[in-house]
Structure 1
Amino acid sequence: MSLIENASRRPGRPTVRLLAVSKTRDANAIADMARAGQRAFGENYVQEALPKIQALRGLGLEWHLIGHLQSNKAALAANAFDWVQTVDRSKLVAALAQHRADTLPPLDVLIQVNIDDEASKSGCHPQEIGALAAAIAAAPRLRLRGLMAIPAPVPDMPRRRHAFADMAALFDTLAVQYPHIDTLSMGMSEDFVEAITEGATMVRIGSALFGPRAPKQGTPA
């Protein structure tokens, strides 16, 4: 997307990756996007994603879980996905590490942060990042890649930018201890330009790529 390229054209800024959010989209729509060159896709629900992952296995796509993950579905998620972006509690770290198969590469993991402290939203508090990062780094079957957030969808865009900037500061602090981390996943269809401006290295775009969202399917992950 040219808007992503334009927003990230600043000296020293890392390349921004596009994650196509394919929840509610069928395998044919994803295959069409893959033929156009998109390789990474994000799904919110484990049960909805599994048949699509299986149907498109031959295309060599990269699958990210970007929705809340229940611990009782960690075994499925650990082996179906390449990334889990919504790790927010130690119990989930342990479950993913236990179930990730030795025959697969380590599972790439992002820590989800509830940056605006919303009662209705998943994610850890900023002060919990350090302990979660240590637990992930100590698990051989997991690989810490960075942080993820979904700021409150307030109409005040400067407030959202402030949340993005706060996330960038948390990422920089974490990178002092874990210099290999490379992913700050934030920004969606309506605010990805602001997210990139504040330091996002991955944006999650759905409707701007696929068009208006289809009716919701599946069960919570």
Structure 2
Amino acid sequence: MTTIVDNLQAVHARIAAACAAAGRDPAGVRLLAVSKTFGPEDVMEAVGAGQQMFGENYIQEGVEKILMVREWEGESRSAPLPGPLSSPTEWHCIGPVQSNKTRLVAAHFDWVQSVDKLKTAQRLNDQRPDDLPPLQVCLQVNIDGGPTKSGVTPEEALALAAEVACLPRLQLRGLMSIPEAAIDFVAACAVHRRAKDLFDQINMADVLPKAMDTLSMGMTADLEAAIHSGSTMVRIGSAIFGSRSP
């Protein structure tokens, strides 16, 4: 039976092969393991294999998991592990953030990749505890206008980026997109390239105090196309943890 450790090795091999095909350095693509619906023991196994970054869609579930894993990490510093213990885990909120959940997100997550409204960003900024570093954020962009997808429109992204970048308890890192499934590699590259072009346009507009460095796009089915198009972070769930129960 394939283990999470084996799956992580296979995903890293896919990333390396995709980077080689695109003429890119694999060090320029970070792996976010999407652990939604999987238990803390699965995260712990992945941490033992060296994985550091984890993404959660459901806030309450994510917070409970974060607390359990961080407690385990503290205990693990003085106990042997089956694999190398990486630096402390980094937690990314990649799902919708309702107004009544912003305080939880601001207090427990390190990143939020799904900011698509100034109101949400302002609440996260105001509720970020003073003893924590600034919350790292990406703007979610509905790059292909998918009717079931969240995200700011490409036309509104520049103005939102300029406003979010001014909030002192947030640090704008980049863009995130979740386009509709494409029919083939060429079509997937085309839509991902639109996100990369928008990313470049915002950086070149000279409205940000610091250039964005993160373009989060690509999942299990389309990571090769995303890397070919310029992704700097791929969000992989099923290829690491297996199929999710309905």
Please confirm whether the aligned pair reaches a TM-score higher than 0.5, indicating the same fold.
yes
Describe the SS at the equivalent of 2:120. helix
Q: Which amino acid aligns with 2:100?
A: N
Which structure: larger Rg? 2
1:49/1:180 Cα in 2 relative to 1: closer, same or farther (>3 Å)?
same
Among 206, 216, 233, the residue aligned to 1:185? 216
Q: What percent of counterpart residues are identical?
A: 48
Query: Mean alpha-carbon deviation: is it higher for 59-68 or for 18-27?
Result: 59-68
Q: Give 5+ residue unaligned stretches, structure 2.
A: 1-11, 74-87
1:192/1:12 Cα in 2 relative to 1: closer, same or farther (>3 Å)?
closer
In 2, Cα distance between the equivalents of 1:11 and 1:57?
A: 34
Among 18, 24, 34, the residue aligned to 1:21? 34
Per-residue CA shift, 1:14-63, capped at 9, x if unaligned? Answer: 61000000001000000000000000000001011111000011432100
Q: 1:160: how far off?
A: 1.9
In 2, Cα distance between the equivalents of 1:100 and 1:133?
A: 19
Q: Which residue in 2 is equivalent to 1:8?
A: 19
Q: Which amino acid aligns with 1:2?
A: A
Counterpart mapping for 1:87-106 below 5 A: 87-106=115-134
Q: Which amino acid aligns with 2:222?
A: D
Contact 2:174 2:213 in 1 (8 A): yes
In 2, Cα distance between the equivalents of 1:111 and 1:208?
A: 25
Describe the SS at the equivalent of 1:50. helix
Q: Give 5+ residue unaligned stretches, structure 1.
A: 216-221
Count of residue correspondences: 215
Pair 1:70 & 2:98 matched: yes
In 2, Cα distance between the equivalents of 1:155 and 1:207?
A: 20
Pair 1:137 & 2:148 matched: no
In 1, Cα distance between the equivalents of 2:144 and 2:200?
A: 18
Q: Which residue in 2 is equivalent to 1:51?
A: 64
